[in-house]
Amino acid sequence: MKRTLLALFLLLLSAMTGWAQAQPQVPATVSSPEVHSDGSVTFRFRDPNAHEVMLTLEGAKPAPMQKDDQGVWSLTTGPLEPDFYGYSFVAEGVGLIDPSNPLMKPNLLHTQSQVHVPGPSSLPWEIGDVSHGLVHHHFYKSGVVGDQRDFYVYTPPGYDPRAKQSYPVLYLLHGFSDDASGWTSVGRANVILDNLIAQGKAKPMVIVMPLGYGAPEIVMQGLGAFATELRKRNYDRFIQALLTEVIPQVEASYRVLKDRNSRAIAGLSMGGAETLLTGLNNLDKFAWIGAFSSGGLAEDFDADFPGLDAKANQQLRVLWVSCGTDDGLIALNRKLRAWLDSKGVHQTGIETAGGHTWMVWRRNLADFSGLLFK
């Protein structure tokens, strides 16, 4: 309704004021997504000529939308748990973001929209009436990879570069096809830590979120490249860039503790594999390791983690290996945990509800970060 008025106003006003060029198109006049008080959500998308439009909603099976006589496709879900969900409209196999929704989900392969089903302030990803930390966006030229790239740094509430207090650091890695903004723009890592720190559930810490590709061309090559030499180069150069470029920049620029007991590493999916490859092979640098829904390991664990054995238990403060039971990667993760058991390496093995989704990873981060540096 407001959108319809808006469209009228735009036409009227652009003629009057000359702002027409600021309004390059008539916005979609449908309201979407509409979140109802019971947590159900109505999605709407105007596409009068499509034969079929499917809703792809994170954590759910693709579902057909219904068209009305105005050419507007819609679907109302059942009540959803409070959370943020990625979604897109798939028309003839083409995934489209919701043109009525400004909340986008960045991704290098398939951009989507996000819908927020609000919940109580006890949920860690809800913006609370608490002090907020900062997110710093860094840019640098990588000698290891040979490109201009970026990383993000979260500093907790009260962090003061001019004060003497120093903080432990969590290096937090995104998944395949995400960009470096994934853990903040989708994972809400800064919001989660603001809340946990305010509640005393997590220690104040710095979080560093680097770009997770040592061979960025792997994104366009797709998952097929994970069976190739490119996979190895992607991981090797990622680890080298992290250890020799990102960590030194962070430790030179921020008040952070530099001992292994003050350094954690965690990541999701491909970032979980990178976490294990980095952390378990560099126990002199990391005491806390968290692998969320890991994927992209070659499953030759003896080759990936040469020499790893029970001696690692003396250095590992936490080795967390989690996966959702509806995740296609659950078998790989169980295999990994069994292999760690066979080597006598202690681990916190976690199986949660859920699939290969950010709903799982936000909870993983909240739980894992609460264990750190204690």
Q: Where are the alpha helices (DSSP H) in the chain?
A: 2-17, 182-185, 189-198, 217-221, 229-241, 247-253, 270-280, 301-304, 330-342, 358-369
Query: Stretches 172-180, 230-238, 274-282, 336-344: which one binds a copy of itself (CB under 8 A)?
Result: 172-180
Nearer to a copy of itself, 274 or 318 (CB): 274
Residue carrying structure tokens 């792809």:
56
The token pair that represents 189 in the structure block: 């890592």
322: contact with a copy of itself by CB under 8 A: no
Question: Strand 318-324 relative to strand 104-105: parallel, antiparallel, unpaired?
Answer: unpaired
Residues 324-343 that bind a copy of itself (CB under 8 A): 326-332
**Minimum gap (Å) between residue 132 Cβ and a copy of itself:** 4
In 3D, which of 185, 164, 163, 166 has the Cα closest to residue 174? 185
Q: Does 278 bind a copy of itself (CB under 8 A)?
A: no
Q: Which is nearer to a copy of itself, 131 or 244 (CB)?
A: 131
Q: Which of 237, 243, 236, 277 is CA-nearest to residue 263?
A: 243
The tokens of 267 are what? 């990541």
Measured distance CA(88)–CA(68) in Å, rounded:
19
Q: Confirm or reject binding of residue 75 to a copy of itself (CB under 8 A).
A: no
> What are the b/e assignments for 259-272, b being 16+ CB within 10 Å?
ebebbbbbbbbbbb
262 lies in the binding site for a copy of itself (CB under 8 A): no
Q: Are 189 and 223 in contact (CB under 8 A)?
A: no
Residue 293: name the closest of 266, 269, 265 by CA: 269
In the region spanning residues 289 to 308, those forming contacts with a copy of itself, defined by CB under 8 A, are 295
Window of 202-210, 217-225, 272-280, 340-348 that interacts with a copy of itself by CB under 8 A: 217-225
Q: What is the DSSP track for 164-218?
A: S--B-EEEEE--TT--TTHHHHTT-HHHHHHHHHHTTSS---EEEEE---SSTHH
**Is 198 one of the binding residues for a copy of itself (CB under 8 A)?**
no
Q: Is 374 in the site for a copy of itself (CB under 8 A)?
A: no
In the numeric block, which tokens belong to residue 12? Answer: 């009227």
Task: For the segment 32-71, give every residue that binds a copy of itself (CB under 8 A).
Answer: 45-51, 56, 58, 62, 71
For position 119 contacting a copy of itself by CB under 8 A, the verdict is no
Which range in 33-41, 86-94, 231-239, 275-283 contacts a copy of itself by CB under 8 A?
86-94
Residues paired with 138 in a beta bridge = 151
Chain centroid to CA 356: how far? 11
111 binds a copy of itself (CB under 8 A): yes
Q: Which of 88, 142, 294, 364 binds a copy of itself (CB under 8 A)?
A: 88
Give the shortest CB-177-to-a copy of itself separation in angstroms: 7
Q: Are 266 and 171 in contact (CB under 8 A)?
A: yes
Within 8 A by CB and 6+ apart from 181, the residues are 106, 152, 209
Out of 195, 234, 269, 364, point to the residue binding a copy of itself (CB under 8 A): 269
Shortest distance, CB of residue 22 to a copy of itself, whole angstroms?
A: 5
Q: Using the rule CB under 8 A, which residue among 20, 63, 310, 338 binds a copy of itself?
A: 20
Which listed residue (36, 68, 79, 137) binds a copy of itself by CB under 8 A?
137
* CB nearer a copy of itself, residue 241 or residue 316: 241
Total residues at interface with a copy of itself (CB under 8 A): 93
Of 95 and 204, the one with the shorter C-beta distance to a copy of itself is 95
Interface characters, 231-260, with a copy of itself (x: CB under 8 A): ------------------------------
Note whether 212 binds a copy of itself by CB under 8 A. no
Residue in 65, 83, 84, 86 binding a copy of itself, rule: CB under 8 A = 86
Contact between residue 113 and residue 98 where contact means Cβ atoms under 8 Å apart:
yes
* Residue 224 φ/ψ, nearest 5 degrees: -55, -30
Determine the interface stretch with a copy of itself among 165-173, 215-223, 310-318, 345-353 (rule: CB under 8 A).
Answer: 215-223
Look at residue 238 and give its three-state secondary structure: helix
